[in-house]
Amino acid sequence: MKVTAEHNERMAKLTFASVYPHYLTKIERKGRTKEELHQVIKWLTGFDESKIQEYITDKITFETFFNNAKLNPNASLIKGVICGYRIEEIDNALTQKVRYLDKLVDELAKGRPMEKILRKG
């Protein structure tokens, strides 16, 4: 699928707080934990537990979320298709980062080992 300007705008305005419960439900339904979800978020963004909670409470947009993140240098190793989009072909940096997070959550829910999710080999 081709990413459109409208899609990019929607990603920017989406709040982390609106998506987080879906991430949590998805991974818990598959036997993973909130702690594992937070480990994945921290790996990608550098945000600790209190920062994650603050961003949920403050209902910040993904645009602000990723503007404040220190993206992991290995994030570019996240490849594949998520929601019909090939991650490595997304040319909008913000949309690509949102899809990185979606992909990591998806891998967590599918039972992938944490060392693989965190691109450790």
* CA gap 115, 3 in Å, rounded: 30
pLDDT at 57: 98
**Is 101:75 a contact under the CB 8 Å cutoff?**
no
Question: For 47-89, how does the pLDDT look when each residue is reduced to its tens digit (9 = 90+)?
Answer: 999 999 999 999 999 999 999 999 999 999 999 999 888 999 9
Three-class DSSP category at 61? strand
Statement: the pTM of the whole predicted model exceeds 0.95: no
Q: 96 pLDDT exceeds 90?
A: yes
Per-domain boundaries in the chain:
5-113
**Which numeric CATH code is attached to 5-113?**
1.10.8.290
